[in-house]
A and B are shown apart, each in its own frame.
Chain A
Amino acid sequence: MNVLYFAALREKLKCSQEHMVAGTNMTVAQLRLLLMEKYGKEHFSDNIICAVNHTVANDLLKLNNDDEVAFYPPVTGG
């Protein structure tokens, strides 16, 4: 999986993207937990949004190794 980070989250993690392997039946929720362990729980609060393959995803969605997964703070365009 290609995992991308945007905006304030990217700055806090000091990482814009990284490659990760999707475990068997890994869900978005499980990936969040992994990232919390890696970077700290404080960076992945409930308001951090996840998009999988350019569509906002809920935590139950199962991930595949060829997915593009993005995490980002609430948007502020317009």
Chain B
Amino acid sequence: MSDKYVAVYSDSTDPLIRVLEDIGVLALHVDELLAHITKAEWPILISTSYTPAIIQLFDRKTVFNRVFSFNNTEFGHRLEEWGYPYAWGHVALRSLYLHAKSLIHDTGERGVSKCMLPLNTQWWAMSDRGGFAVPKFLYAFGTTEPDLTGFADPIRKSIWSIHEWGGEASLSGPEGVWHPFYVERPAGTPVMCSFLGSDVRLAFPRGSIGVPIEKFVELARIARNIFCSEIGEILTFVEGNGTIRFYAFSPTMSSFVDQPDFEERLSSFMRTEIEGVALDSWSPQADEKSCNLALA
């Protein structure tokens, strides 16, 4: 697999990296690339001197770019020492990715990368662009507590809290003070959906129910485009009347990597011809709706 793929990651606990390494993909932590990146005088700012050996590892490969945050990395500390925003770290990585064929995920910081949008934006995109049912929510502005009449059972959350749905979130820092965010508590049966390209599988955290698989295939297809990721997992709740309500997309795959057949699924996906996210998606002519991913 290492002749076609390479992985770059920032979180040592990323569950997908372990599986990729098990199937023979070379995975580099971002800190391993730090030796090739130096601070430069403005207007260069960051100078990259990737060796032929490093470039060879990426040449015409598809990259599992799992750099979702520079927090708690030496790379991130270095950027902070230099006084540069983390966005410059992605600039440095993209100059290496230019040698590759394509990426598995969109790049960028949280909220900028399409694979790491906040919850309210995910819901807007999936309802406005995808036509899917999404939760009722309220995202206030400032410090004024919003009017929650019209909610049956609101829970306060962070717009970034993709995985916690049990109850009231204890919010610290600015989110505890500014812009309160409330969501209608999920009702119905949770159904997780994972996709690896066009391969869609479901999981039932609280007991299985009969669901129309074709609806989830369509959900995954749209999510793949909107969130610019060849792989991902989606949380939905299926309500009593059969409504499938989209709750969250995440690129982490944490709900599926430990399934017994996941490694085989991933290997099978990686043996197909993956289109991936284009590296030159900066072009103003890039069609944002297609996200440069082939629609299966």
A and B co-occur in one complex = no
Question: Which A residues are closer than 8 A to B by beta carbons?
Answer: none
